[in-house]
Structure 1
Amino acid sequence: MGLLDYYRQFEDMDQEERNRGLRERRAREKAMALEQIPVLDLSSTEWPDFPNSEIVNASIATARGRVNGYPDRHAGELRGALAQRHGVDPQQVAVGNGVAELLQAAAYALLGAGEELVTPWPSYPLYPLMTSRARGKPVAVDSTDPEDILAAVTERTRIVVICNPNDPTGTYLPSEHLAGLVARLPDHVHVLVDEAFIQFQDSEDEDACLRLVDSFQHLVVLRTFSKVYGLSGLRCGYAVANPAAASLLERIAPVLGVNALTQSAALQALKIGDAEVIRRSALVTEQRRRVETALHDLPFDAPHSQANFVWLSAPGMSGAALAAKLEGHKVLVAPGGPLGADDHVRASIRGAEATSRLLEALEKVAAAA
């Protein structure tokens, strides 16, 4: 078909018919373009990029040279490095196969049948699960206010666990408020502070809460290499406590320790990983502010976050429905139901391009509502 023949086919068409044809054509082109856009997965909280190659190589080198031998079950070198970093004695540090294992071990050690673990809610779903496995009773508090937490404590309470920053809400309990809470709890209650996302908060010094272990014998602070360090697959976490809690740390540390590959990678991450941690934290802070600023002009609500995710809700819409609508625009988020609130979703914060796609998807959902 020549150029003139192409245009002659439109001579007998009125303007409305031409416009309809153009709209249909644009819709087809848009649908084809959308099919080529990869799905953006913002449903998980792990860091999406690989760690520095030297960290991976440290683990590989250990595998090649010592995979046939048992690891140091006390993780002496790693505990020493962690102790030096946080200004404590190595006896104040326990290393485990991820924070989850250490928390579960603490529940077994501290809870008797029917005894209570108190936690703000919604929060990390592991907490009620680990309580039930230890034959305890989980007590959810619909608030992060220390006064409300204190009001939930009874004679049967043995543990208060606080995820800080909290997963999935992103809220942060400052060290001053944490200290006030711990100081007013009875001696039979231990406080476990899960700081898996601590490097993403920018409201105070990273070790502000951890340093409180010097003042409180029943406070245990837990950290992980799974999030900002990007070592989720190696499962490494650690706990820091007061010297008087050394016996508790011994009880929660795994009997046979952490595997040698994990210890080598964690050690190397401590040696060379600070610059990358700072870069990742700054990136999350920048993009989190961008998302929260944009939400002011959109019909979505979210509490101020100090983590690498935001906790979104849309008035009149369930979390599952919002997640489904965002998935229709190739953006995956975590529905809030399994995380403790059916009317929310959790969306992770990544780089600038991911932020643009999340905001674009939210704008489209809002426009179609």
Structure 2
Amino acid sequence: MPTIRRVLIVGAGIGGLTAAIALRRNGINVEMVEQNPNWSVYGVGIIQPNNMLRALDCIGLAQQCAEDGAGFPGWRIHDKDGNHLMDAPSTCAAAPAYPENNGITRPRLQKILSDAALSAGATVSLGTTIDAIHDEGNAVRVTFPDGTSSSYDLVIGADGIYSKVRELLFGDKYRPLYIGQAVWRYNLPRLPSVTWGEMFFGPDSKVGLVPMAEKEMYMLLVSSEPGNPWMDRAQLADNMRQRLSAYTGPVAQLRERITDSAAVVYKPMETLLMPDPWYRGRTILIGDAAHAATPHLAQGAAMAIEDAVLLGELLGRDSGLQEVLDEFMRRRFERVRFVFDSCNQISTWEKQEWLGENDPNAKPGELLHSAILELMNDY
């Protein structure tokens, strides 16, 4: 019998929902609170690398993701004019029954996870969060904005990079850091030629085309944005098209289809890595609340899902909480730091190249390939 019987999860996004599913599979009672009253996510896509599919398979959801998404074997690399340079195949070594990568829309993934969590018996309260955490040794008492309180065996903070739980535990000591790049995303009809993930390298940016379904794909654009400039939401489509002006070939043809500013998702790249441990007493952080890397390895959601699946597995054992939390950190911290450091290195090399600086040690392709192989190892 698990020693943890009642858990509160703060945040019902990818990490929180996965944790709820993993905990319910072990008979642990789960309550979730989610600040977003609509429980919505933005509508572009997400890449599920093979190690994420392995983790999802542990909770019985990899097959549904693969059926609702679009698998692709790796990245086909082009210059800005669409000339093919090379193929960079990925691997399915972590989960051989599933694609090397799977593209899926965020709303579809959210529905898969939320349906599974609710069907398993987890509950969710929308439009609310927590106000205070009081660790009482053998339990943790949480106060809610309406003045009520309740006790839990464990609180899991899965409330993102601007985590309220992190602030309550550690103050404002740990804050996200803007790294000088941003990513733009836009959904488009899938081109018949897009059977891989397609990547195009320009003089001061890069563009990706990612399959999400038989007739859907999304474009991602990574650009340098010094100083983290404010972006007028009404001008996002114009600004995205302007940053694609150096491209010819397929990207130039797609550029003219970017017309709806409301459909452009613009995100400055911010990073965060909490030191070990990510817990204090009976409260622990997972996902972006504890570690947020840039998207250069497409591993942000994968790391959150791995966190959640492993924590659920460990809490299902007949072990003391301290033993569980210590093992969790032993198995997660170095792996997450590897992703964090690798992403930062690739970002640094990109920014140097876009400024015309020559770094003879810059080998982003090699680092990307070796990192993918490393992450196929179990954790």
TM-score interval, smaller chain: under 0.3
Higher strand share: 2
Larger radius of gyration: 1
TM-score (norm 2): 0.24
TM-score (norm 1): 0.24
Higher helix share: 1
